[in-house]
Amino acid sequence: MPEPASRPGARPDAAVVRADCAADDLRDWPTGRLLSVAARLVEGAWAARLAEHGLTHAGVMAIHEVHARGDLPLLELARRCQVTAQTMTRTVDRLERDGLVVRRRSTEDRRRVAVALTPAGEAAYRQAVDMSAVEPVLLGQVVDHTALRTNLVAIVEHLAGPAGVRSRG
């Protein structure tokens, strides 16, 4: 029997949500509850798809940032991914163990270490980007994916504030 996702931060089990949906009319749920449950269910489905390829959500975020910007100091990578340095260190440790990134010491300042992609990391990045095609598989044809992405960008930009995350056009 699946454990109910009543703990703060717990991901709801799809079977538990189906039972909730059968008992409730989703149209009566507050928007925040709908958004939270939908986000957690999509995150769980996406994590399962990534795991099939030996990737994690945190790893893909880190790989994306290094791919987009080149070698990055660990603290800058953590800031860009909006996680703590400790969390990013664990993520980079795993990526390094899997041969997807390497740590490189700066020639100018030996105390400074940057994270760089390996050829296998570049391949993993391309694979993760190609996996974005699974969005319709995860969500079916229940939503207009272009409108969903537009609205998600608007939400993140609004909630992140003027100094927060910004889209690139």
Model confidence pLDDT, tens digit, residues 123-161 = 988 888 776 666 666 666 667 777 877 888 888 888 887
pLDDT tens for residues 6-34? 444 445 566 666 666 666 778 888 988 88
Mean pLDDT of the chain: 80
Q: State yes or no: pLDDT of 166 exceeds 90.
A: no
Q: State yes or no: pLDDT of 59 exceeds 50.
A: yes
Give the CA distances from residue 100 to residues 37, 66, 121, 125, 156, in Å, rounded to whole numbers and listed in that order: 32, 11, 4, 9, 28
**More confident of the two residues 39 and 83:** 83
**Do 68 and 139 have their domain in common?**
yes
The confidence score (pLDDT) of residue 45 equals 80
CA distance 80 to 61: 9
Q: State yes or no: pLDDT of 68 exceeds 90.
A: yes
**Do 76 and 87 have their domain in common?**
yes
Give the number of other CB atoms < 10 A from CB of residue 89.
15
Instruction: Establish if 168 belongs to a structural domain.
Output: no
**Do 40 and 116 have their domain in common?**
no
Mean pLDDT computed over 72-80: 94
**Do 70 and 148 have their domain in common?**
yes
Q: How does DSSP classify residue 151?
A: H
pTM of the model: 0.69
Instruction: Establish if 76 belongs to a structural domain.
Output: yes
**Do 102 and 145 have their domain in common?**
yes
Domains identified in the chain, total number: 2
The confidence score (pLDDT) of residue 141 equals 65
**Do 99 and 155 have their domain in common?**
yes
**Do 83 and 130 have their domain in common?**
yes
**More confident of the two residues 93 and 41:** 93
**Do 8 and 91 have their domain in common?**
no
Tokens of 159: 């909630």
Instruction: Establish if 167 belongs to a structural domain.
Output: no
For residue 47, the enclosing domain spans 1-52
**Do 106 and 123 have their domain in common?**
yes
**Do 153 and 90 have their domain in common?**
yes
The confidence score (pLDDT) of residue 154 equals 87
Instruction: Establish if 116 belongs to a structural domain.
Output: yes
Q: Which CATH number fits the domain that encloses residue 70?
A: 1.10.10.10
Q: State yes or no: pLDDT of 120 exceeds 80.
A: yes
Mean pLDDT computed over 76-96: 95
